[in-house]
Amino acid sequence: MERGFKAWCERFSVAKRKELQIPASGPIDPWKLAENQGVAVWTPNEVVGLSPEKIDILLRNDGTPSCWSAVTLMAGTKIAVILNSSHPRGRQANDLTHELAHRVLDHTPQEMNVTPDGIMMLKSYDKTQEEEADWLSSCLLLPRDALLSIRRRRLELAEAAKEYGVSQKMLSYRLARSGVDRQLGFVR
């Protein structure tokens, strides 16, 4: 990532919260964020014309890393994110925010193919774009002010994850990567 990118993400998160009238340390609702950006959010069940058989294939969650999470579809000026509704709500929040981050960062969309048996496969993968979207989405969900608030209030990880609508895995990642734990003496 380019120098200054992570700091920019933190500033963007604070600015977006201010725009949406959310306190700097408050939770953000990714679905409202999508609405704010003019992005429709669907599940496979809401995709018109998708057969029950294809929906079953798409929602089969075998827990493997290859199990899809979200996809952004663009048709002209219309944009929709389709979320895998078989995933827990916290993961869906992360997946949606990740997709929105690609849009904010004006990343080049990647093409996707669907195999005859319904498996979605990317034609290409841009590691830098994915890392940037991961970082921005994590800052949007859990900005530094939120992490400081969580630690200062001595919330348990499960309680904080629930309050912010994220997975404990995402919360642990942000605490570890942000430097907040080190700053407040939680890590020695």
- Per-residue pLDDT tens for 43-58? 988 888 888 888 887 7
Give dist(CA 29, CA 165) in Å, integer: 8
In the chain, DSSP assigns E strands to 39-42, 70-75, 78-83, 112-114, 120-122
Work out the mean pLDDT of the chain and round it to a whole number: 88
Position 136 pLDDT exceeds 70: yes
Token pair of 121 as six digits: 């496969």
What band does 95 get if pLDDT is binned at 50, 70 and 90? very high
> Average pLDDT of 78-95?
91
3-class DSSP assignment, residue 73: strand
Sheet containing 39-42: which strands, arranged edge to edge?
A: 39-42, 78-83, 70-75
Overall average pLDDT of the 73-98 stretch? 90
Range from 64-73, 74-83, 84-93 carrying the lowest mean pLDDT: 64-73
**Tens-digit pLDDT profile for residues 27-39:** 999 999 999 999 9
